[in-house]
Structure 1
Amino acid sequence: MATKVFIDGEAGTTGLQIRARLDQRPDLTMIRLDEARRKSEAARREAINEADVVILCLPDDAAVDALSLIERRSVRVIDASTAHRTAQGWTYGFPEMARDQRETIASSRRVTNPGCYPTGAIALIRPLVEHGIIPAGWPVTINAVSGYSGGGKSLIAAFEDPQAASYTHDHFRLYALGLGHKHIAEMQRYTGLHQPPLFAPSVGRFAQGMLVEVPLQLWALPKAAGTDDIRALLAATYADSRFVEVASRAECEGLASLDPEGLNGTNRLKLFVFGNDKLRQARLVALLDNLGKGASGQAVQNLNIMIGADEATGL
């Protein structure tokens, strides 16, 4: 029997991409509301309780409100908002994060989709904390740049719509200058760091794609480790993953630059370890599509795991 899926908020950026990945799948029955009924609470309540799995692509407050519409205990939820990423009773939907994470997701009724920046940061940092290369109390810095689609409709309009009041000619901008960002809490929690990392995000004039970087002064770390050690650890951590890969030393040394749009349209996450062993410095970099592995692709991967489908179906 086909699994019934309802995307609450399918007209948004993430919802549209999830829908595109799920359309035409014979193992799913998509429940849809026409435009006139999408804002009707009664229509949404009916659709939510008809579904086997509901994917919430809503602002945080609306995602919380949507949960109150669930009347059937059997309805399972994937929340793409930030509302429940550190909430009790919710499973963090990053399947590659830990050895048993897939099994936990598969049995969960409530799965919270990770943020795009945290997906890259956690993939780089968590294994190093677990193996003592980065002490849990270390002052970690995370630099990142994302395409403007990560900011939703308002930021998309600012970069794409000359008629919008917020329209900008900027090619690049820093933001979150007050050092507060909604992704920091989940970064700290799931990397295992004792203190919030210093997070320095930015946005560029490209629609989607992302680089997340963790610079390390290897000479200052208490446990001696070189770039090859770090690369080998990351490669071993993700050896069985279908979507996370680690670039070889030869590939890293052969690169003069890295394009944040390099994995657009995919659910892949690629990790790079650049370094200078003489100076004992390293730059760990994650490349991903902020709308793929950073949002809609990861939601579909979680859905596949939850319903027992092949993890890569539709991806």
Structure 2
Amino acid sequence: MPMQHHASPILVQHWEGYELARDDTHRYVWIWMGSNIRLIGLSLGDDAFGYDHGWCYPRDIELVTKAVAEWDPDTQDEPMGWHKRPTHPVRRAPPPPREPRLQPGALRARLVLPRQRMPRPQLPRRPRARGPRPRERTRMTATDAADVDQEPAPADDGGMLPPYSAEDAVCPMCQNREAFTWFRPALPPNAVQTDWNGGLRRGSRPKRLERECARCTYKWDEALVVDRPGMTIDALVHALDNATPYPVELDREVLKHVAHQLLAMLYLTARPDHPLWQYSNGRPPAATAPQDPAASPVCEAPHATRDEEDACERRRLTNTKESSR
């Protein structure tokens, strides 16, 4: 049923407000709420003790009336012009009706053609990249800072979530300072989250606190509270360790000392949208042996068939053996 707008607002004695319109599930009433006007969606079945949806507007009755008049709840999730949504979850418009599908047997006769096998197209193979390994980062301790020619340390940098920001949360998308919090259990490596900021998210996750912006519903993960909310020493050490612009790292004790001094001088909050806080299992990439591109060149020209590519590879190996004699 489409939205039914009233020519003049109808007084609702129980809520001390005025009904502007109604649809097949809710009626929409505005009430005074402190320094705002709140537009609420009351269920037609039971509306004596609460409401399902709410939107806060400035104290302007004409603005609220115009927003409801221009709103189509069958195609739009929410009205326009509000500055705060105090209810959860977000209202969603009903999905559009699907087109009727053709039932089996609807066509009396059909044309049957013999099956023909189509030839498979031959695509050029992508040449494999060859080259030396990138330079690894070394680690410098506080006692032997002058010795920078030591062996590179293995990658042991695991994933880390931003610390729990509590009441200091700031949405990375709309800069809103109100966020909901839910505890989420750990997920296995093959887990798939189907509704994550309008898309899919795959992979394992630890136990965490999921934050959701109260205005734009953007979601992000934060770590569990260990001691008290806010930036922690370990998280700040993790950020400082990944902020060095040169291939020599500082010792962890040095980083912890710097982190203590910064927390004593500043109030710090992590940006959950930064790539540093995107959780991973911390596994380093598989190491490959260095190869000299001049010793075993690869033909860069595309080949029409697999046989031509094999013949080219055999000629390359023959030339390599003759040159080594």
1 or 2, which has the higher helix percentage? 1
TM-score by length of 1: 0.22
- Larger gyration radius, structure 1 or structure 2: 2
Instruction: With a CA cutoff of 8 Å and minimum separation of 6, indicate the structure with the bigger relative contact order.
Output: 1
TM-score, normalised via structure 2 length = 0.21
